[in-house]
Each structure stands twice: as structure tokens, then as C-alpha cells.
Copies of this chain bind each other. A is one copy, B any other.
Amino acid sequence: MQYPAPIAHLIDSYMKLPGIGEKTATRLAFYTLDMPDMDVHDFSTALTEVKQKLHRCTICGNVTEQDPCSICSDPTREKSTIMVVEQPKDVMAFEEMGEYNGLYHVLHGVLSPMDGLGPEEINIKSLIVRLQKQDNVKEVILALNSTPEGESTAMYISKLIKPAGIKVTRLAAGLAVGSDIEYANSITLKRAVQGRTSI
């Protein structure tokens, strides 16, 4: 015996989401069945609209409804600095921080040969084109995750850009604020010591 087709279909769809196996998908499908009609309708609409209405900004690659995105088209933003990030979520994190007033460039991933992600698969080429067109860029901040893939992507981009005489920086590595030395790994400690500052 099998679940009725509409339930089976919905279980399959939930299973395509990351971290959701068959048991969770089944639970979510039956939960959906008991949700108010309006909520399920909204959910269904949200799914189609996210694909129809959102696009990548042709300048920075961030997801946006209008093109160029609100940051690229904002005349008050400092055009001389571009912060390179992995994901649209990272843009949001820096915008919430509120101190940064430059532009962004979203790679949509990092170099990861194991996963078949080379320079062509992520949004690097458009960064180079952008730097060639916009000759007022003075600094590129590589704000990539502190993972092996993030580090090697940063090195790769740095080598491409530096010959053009643009300053390339990366985020400081060290202890997270509020964290314990006891629990920090040795690479983090090494970076924290190397980058020590006077007080």
C-alpha cells in the first residue's frame, strides 16, 4: 500500500530540500494537509514567485527584484570598495552590521574542485570585468568564509586582481568575541597571535 498520490508527490518535493529525509518529509506533508488552506496557498505562491520575480543583479550578482540591485544603484554608496562574499545571506549580515558603505560582489559559491566547482562555475569572471570597467575601485575586501575552500578562493582571486594594482584585503582572523580560548582550535589561536594588536 502506498500513500495517496498527492501526499507521495509532496513527500518527494520536501525530500529535495537539504537535510530533510523521508521521515521528516512525511511528517511535513501530513502537517501541510492540516494547515489552513490560506497558508498552503501562500506557500505555493511564494515558491513560484521566488523563481519568477528574483534575478541576479547584472553588476554584483546579488539576488534582486530590480536590476541593478538597490545597493548597486544607490548613489550614496562608496564606489571605491567592493566586498566579495560567497552568498546573498552574507550581504545581509554585513548590511545588518551597518558599518560598511561600499559595494558587494556575490560569488554564489567558492572554488571546490571536489564538487566540480571551478572558476567558471562561480561568479568570478564578472568581478574581473567589473574591475576593468570601473577604474575607480581602490580596494577589494575578500570576505569569504574561513574554510579551506574560502581561503583558496580568496588566494585565487587575490592573484587575479593584484597585478592591476588594486589593494586586496581579507577579514581579520582571530577569536570570536565572547568565545573561550580553551575551546578555540589551534589554527584560530595561531591567527589570533599573529594578528595581535596594541592596546
Contact = CB atoms under 8 A, between A and B. Distances in A.
Contacts of A47: 10, 13, 32, 40, 43-44, 47
A27 interface: yes
B95 A1 contact: yes
Nearest to A70: B1
Contact of A5 (B1, B12, B65): B65
A37 interface: yes
Count class of interface residues, chain A: 35 or more
Interface of A: 1, 3-7, 9-10, 12-14, 16-18, 26-35, 37, 39-54, 63-65, 70, 87-89, 92, 95-96, 108
Given A32-B47, A44-B45, 8 more contacts: A3-B92, A4-B53, A5-B65, A9-B46, A10-B47, A17-B28, A40-B50, A41-B51
